[in-house]
C-alpha cells in the first residue's frame, strides 16, 4: 500500500522590509501631523529623518533590526533636535525596547514601529530639556535650525552634503562623552 501524499503547504516568510520603506512610512506619519519632513537631509545618512514644525525639530532614526544600535544613534544625535525617536520594523522589538528603557536616561526617546505603511507609537518622544532646566544643547539646536532655514530658503541647495554638523561638537553631553554614558543609567542617579 502506497501512503497518501500529504499536501505541502507553502512556507510563508515574513516580507523583509527595508529601512527606506520604514523611513517613508514614518515620513508620511509625521507629515499627517503637520511636520515638514526631510529624509537624509545632509546626504550622508547621518540623520535618517528630520521633522520640523514651526521652531520644533525632531529627529527619527530607523532600523529594520538591532534596537540597541538605533537607540544609541538617537542618543548620539539628541543635541540637534528638541526630541528624537526610533522606529523599528518589529512591533515586538519596539515594545521590548520601550519596556527595557523605562526609567533610564533614554526614556525621552520615542519608540515606534512601522508595518504595512503605518506607524504605531509605543512611547511618545519627549523633549530632552524641560522648560525649567538649563539647555546644554541650545547652541547646537540653534545652529541646526539655521542649517534647516538655509535648506528651506535655498541657501543650501538640495542634495548638497553638509556633513560637518555631526562632527562639530564631540561632547554635547556637558563634558561626558557618549561612549561613557550607559543606556541603563537611571534618569535621576542617587546623589
User: Which has the minimum average pLDDT: 11-15, 58-62, 167-171?
Assistant: 167-171
Q: Which three cell numbers stand for residue 137?
A: 544643547
Q: How far apart are CA 38 and CA 94, in angstroms?
A: 23
Per-residue pLDDT at 28 exceeds 80: yes
Model pLDDT for residues 123-163, shown as the tens digit of each residue? 999 998 888 888 888 888 998 999 899 888 888 877 777 65
Per-residue pLDDT at 117 exceeds 60: yes
Q: How far apart are CA 113 and CA 118, in angstroms?
A: 8
**How high is the mean pLDDT of the chain?**
80
Domain residues of the chain, as ranges?
A: 19-128+135-153
- Residue that is written with C-alpha cell 520603506 in the block: 21
State percent of the chain over pLDDT 70.
Answer: 76
For residue 126, give the nearest of 142, 141, 140, 107 by alpha carbon. Answer: 107
Query: Tell me, which fold does domain 19-128+135-153 have in CATH?
Result: Trna Endonuclease; Chain: A, domain 1 (3.40.1350)
Per-residue pLDDT at 186 exceeds 60: no
Per-residue pLDDT at 166 exceeds 80: no
Which pLDDT value is given to residue 172? Answer: 45
Which pLDDT value is given to residue 135? Answer: 86
Classify 148 in phi/psi space as left (phi over 0), alpha (psi -120 to 50) or beta: alpha
Residue 176: which pLDDT band, with cuts at 50, 70 and 90? very low
Name the strands in the sheet holding 49-53, side by side, starting at the edge strand that comes first in the sequence. Answer: 36-39, 49-53, 56-63, 83-88, 110-115, 118-123
Q: How far apart are CA 158 and CA 147, in angstroms?
A: 12
Mean pLDDT computed over 54-78: 90
Mean pLDDT computed over 78-102: 93
**Beta-carbon contacts of residue 117 (< 8 Å; ≥ 6 apart):** 25, 28
Per-residue pLDDT at 170 exceeds 50: no
Which pLDDT value is given to residue 178? Answer: 40
Count of alpha carbons within 13 angstroms of residue 79, beta-carbon side: 20
Choose between 137 and 165: higher pLDDT: 137
State percent of the chain over pLDDT 90.
Answer: 40
Amino acid at each position: 500500500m502506497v501512503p497518501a501524499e500529504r499536501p505541502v503547504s507553502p512556507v510563508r516568510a515574513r516580507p523583509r522590509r527595508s529601512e527606506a520603506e520604514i523611513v517613508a512610512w514614518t515620513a508620511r506619519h509625521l507629515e499627517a501631523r503637520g511636520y515638514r519632513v526631510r529624509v537624509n537631509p545632509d546626504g550622508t545618512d547621518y540623520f535618517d529623518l528630520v521633522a520640523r514644525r514651526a521652531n520644533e525639530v525632531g529627529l527619527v532614526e530607523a532600523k529594520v533590526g538591532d534596537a540597541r544600535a538605533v537607540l544609541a544613534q538617537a542618543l548620539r544625535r539628541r543635541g540637534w533636535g528638541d526630541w528624537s525617536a526610533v522606529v523599528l520594523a518589529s512591533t515586538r522589538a519596539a515594545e521590548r525596547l520601550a519596556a527595557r528603557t523605562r526609567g533610564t536616561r533614554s526614556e525621552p526617546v520615542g519608540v515606534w514601529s512601522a508595518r504595512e505603511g503605518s506607524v504605531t507609537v509605543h512611547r511618545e518622544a519627549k523633549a530632552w530639556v524641560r522648560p525649567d532646566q538649563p539647555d546644554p544643547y541650545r547652541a547646537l539646536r540653534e545652529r541646526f535650525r539655521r542649517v534647516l532655514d538655509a535648506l528651506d530658503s535655498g541657501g543650501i541647495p538640495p542634495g548638497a552634503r553638509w556633513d560637518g554638523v555631526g562632527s562639530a561638537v564631540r561632547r554635547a553631553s556637558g563634558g561626558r562623552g557618549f561612549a561613557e554614558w550607559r543606556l541603563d543609567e537611571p534618569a535621576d542617579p542617587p546623589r
